[in-house]
Structure 1
Amino acid sequence: MPKVTLKDIAREVGLSPTSVSLVLNNRPCRVSEENRRRIKEVARRKHYIPNQIARSLVMQQSHSFGLVVPNIQSRYFASLANNLEILCREKGYLLLITNSVGSSESDTELVRLLVNRGVDGIFLVVSDEFTTDRELIDDLTQLPVPLVMVDRFLDGVSRDRVRYDNELGGYLATDHLLGHGHRRVACIINPESNTGRLRLAGYRRALDEHGIPFDPGLVFESDYYIPDAWQAAEGLLATDATAAFASSDNIALGLLKRVYEHGMRVPDDLSVVSYDNSAADSLFEPALTSIEQNVPAIAGVAVEMMLARVGEHADDAEYAPPVERMLTPRLVEKDSVRAL
């Protein structure tokens, strides 16, 4: 079946292709309501599909956004990508999802690639919040399209940003364990990320409020990958800790794998509070008490920020100051913590 064009519709309704194009793209034009109705009825009947490339050239918009995440295998980032894609599609935008594999150099490469592909804006979860990569920082500062930093921020880049309160999350997790009578609480953390450092700060604040001295011998380092956490967990299990704060679900899964290999059980031998509250813990018994970062909520705020920059009031928004939002995590209590 030959593709229906604007000229085909225009010929049938007796109007110019320009008028038909303006009506179908909801642009202002001097066309009567009756003719508008006829144009849309003919377009539906003939199954007209707009040429998005031509439309983009005319309107100088591609109706697409880009997303850069550092680890698409992470349950949290996979869920974030999924929620962003759904919300963007509902608003008429295609989301191009890319994976930097935790590399600042890849962040730079992918941001440039997305801009060259003509996206109208970029959502970015940076790989390294402490990067000194001037190339990346300069690129983001001078980016010709709107940028929303999600979950992780880069100091020195003045753009819209949204994340959860990581310090509060670390505090809530540790306070919950201390509130159940545990006094030797270990944690597995990623100190190479600002996210990890903030969660560690929350861990230390909870210890201080409960009058318990901070013991660096109970802090173990791990990247946000299950094998790294599995290695770190060996040192943790050699301590006298009765509880552990695992600062991501992937870290918690690595810890649980090591715990079960030692013939131990949660929470009988070790109480655990995780972070992210993803669906991963549904594979394990008992279900993990966890700090929830509501992914649909942060995705919704990120899309709202983006649309404020590219919507019908984009010209006004272009010069508006950057917006920062800090969302509040919550503890979801399940079955992985026992009282001493």
Structure 2
Amino acid sequence: MRTTIRDVAARANVSPSTVSLVLNNRPVPISAGTREKVLRAAEEMRYRPNQLAVALATHKTNTIGLIVPDISNIFHTVYCEQIELFAEKRAYSTIIRIAQNDIEDTIRFLYDFEDRAVDGIILTKSVFKDPGDTSKCMQAVRELRIPVMLTDRVPREFIAGAVLPNDYLGGYLAVHHLIDMGHRQIGYITGPLHYGNCRERLRGCREALEKEGIPWDPALVYEGEFDIASGEQALAYLLGKKVTAIFAFNDMIAYGVYKQARSYNLSIPADLSVVGFDDLAFSDLIDPPLTTLEYPVKRMAEAVVDRILAKINREPLSEEPIVFDPVLKVKGSTSRRR
């Protein structure tokens, strides 16, 4: 049977109320000896608080719901892990649901979390290919009676208070680096362009070119998915455009370019320079190591956890979005144009 406060009280020879005061570290005058007896008895009996009783008393479950679009994109897996770690450091548990990029599942999980009485929800994707689905998602968010934090892929009109990466700067830094290496004919393999983060990266690319007086050519843009297959499929098209460098909008796309380049007997970076985005762990393991933009995943995760807890505790928050700048990490996949 589960050990109760009454069991601990009997072992320590004190009242249940004294046990409750000690275990909850209440600021009341209890002697050091009594406090030590209670804590020793609780440890010996492996006492754990009844979370349901705690929730009923405090009106909190110390639980956060986290909805991610998929885990085939390694970035989401890493972000998910970091959010869970920072939540745990703040004594919160995380329940994770994977929506498979589906609007119906996303809405179902939002309402399910509310029914389960989680204290708040972190939603990492609230933009969908169909604008009507995006509207449905945001309508559901507005109807919830618990706090919600938006992060990563967020509709432009709802970025107030959100935690976001500076995708514009990432695009600008990637292309500026390739221009510095002497490249002028640069190809772009994007994720779905209905995502604001993709459009922002592309805007940064375009402005880096314009600053150097290089014309923008939309024919050099290949719209794909955030997966390896898109990198493989895009390479033949972009080689047909005589590109000397490629900016892949995530590291998985870049890896697809690497794989396909081998089948064309192309050497990276001698024949083709490649820049990725995310700085996932494998980017240091492939040959050559991938020049990429480091996504500040840990800092973003900490910020989004801190903000959802502030909302839960009804603390005042700025409506300004928190935007994190990526850092270009130059490794072995880019070189001067020959």
Question: Structure 2 length normalisation: TM-score?
Answer: 0.92
**Cα distance between partner residues in 2 of 1:176 and 1:140:** 40
Q: Is the counterpart of residue 55 in structure 1 residue 54 in structure 2?
A: yes
Q: How does 1:274-289 map to 2 (within 5 A)?
A: 274-289=276-291
Match of 1:82 in 2: 81
Report the Cα distance in structure 2 between the residues aligned to 1:296 and 1:232, rounded to whole angstroms: 31
Deviates more, 1:86-95 or 1:198-207: 86-95
Q: Aligned partner of 1:80: which letter?
A: Y
* Cα displacement (A) at 1:33: 5.2
Residue 339 of structure 1 aligns to a residue whose secondary structure is: coil
Q: Deviations over 1:249-295 (max 9, x none)?
A: 12112222221221212111110111011112234200010011121
The answer to whether the 8 A contact 1:268-1:338 is kept is yes
Gaps of 5+ in 1: none
- 1:186-232 Cα shifts (integer Å, max 9, x gaps): 11112121110000000100110111000111111111122233222
Question: How many angstroms apart in 1 are the aligned matches of 2:145 and 2:186?
Answer: 47
Give me the whole-angstrom Cα distance separating, in 2, the residues matched to 1:281 and 1:293: 13
Q: SS at the partner of 1:125?
A: strand
Q: Which amino acid aligns with 1:84?
A: I
State how far apart, in whole Å, the 2-side matches of 1:49 and 1:56 are: 14
**What does residue 95 of structure 1 align with?**
94
The answer to whether the 8 A contact 1:102-1:127 is kept is: no
Question: How high is the sequence identity, in percent, across the aligned residues?
Answer: 32
CA distance in 2, matches of 1:47, 1:75: 38
In the other structure, the counterpart of 2:326 is 329
| 1:307 partner letter | L
Farther-moved stretch of structure 1 (202-211 vs 103-112): 103-112
Q: Which residue of 2 aligns with 1:229?
A: 231
- Distance in 2 (CA, whole Å) between partners of 1:307 and 1:33 is 33
Deviations 1:117-145 (A, max 9, x none): 22111111115267333432122123222
Alignment-mate amino acid for residue 120 of structure 2: G
Tell me, what secondary structure is at the counterpart of 2:125? coil
Structure-2 change in CA distance of 1:28 and 1:107 (3 Å): farther
* Maintained 8 Å contact 1:175/1:207: yes
Runs of 4+ in structure 1 displaced over 6 angstroms? none
Q: Partners of 1:264 and 1:292 in 2: how far apart?
A: 26
Matched, 1:162 2:163: yes
Deviation for aligned residue 1:36: 3.3
Change (3 A) 1:287 1:117: same
Instruction: Specify the SS of the correspondent of 2:332.
Output: coil
How many residues matched? 334
| Pairs within 5 Å for 1:119-134 | 119-126=118-125, 128=127, 131-133=131-133, 134=135
Q: How does 1:192-271 map to 2 (within 5 A)?
A: 192-271=194-273
Q: Contact (CA 8 Å) 1:249, 1:274: kept in 2 or not? A: yes
2: CA distance between counterparts of 1:96 and 1:42?
32
Residue 143 of structure 1: aligned partner: 144
User: Unaligned stretches of 5+ in structure 2?
Assistant: none
Q: Separation in 2 of the partners of 1:22 and 1:160?
A: 38
Between 1:175-184 and 1:273-282, the stretch displaced more is 273-282
| Cα separation, 2, equivalents of 1:188 and 1:305 | 33
C-alpha change, 1:145 and 1:327, in structure 2 (3 Å) is same
Question: What does 1:17-28 align with in structure 2 at a 5 Å threshold?
Answer: 17-27=16-26
Q: Given residue 132 of structure 1, which amino acid in structure 2 is its aligned partner?
A: G
Shift in Å, 1:58: 1.9
Q: Cα RMSD over matched residues? A: 2.0
> Does the 8 Å contact 1:230/1:258 carry over to 2?
yes
From the superposition, tell whether residues 158 and 236 of structure 1 become closer, same or farther in structure 2 (CA, over 3 Å).
Answer: closer
Give the Cα separation in 2 of the matches to 1:129 and 1:154: 9
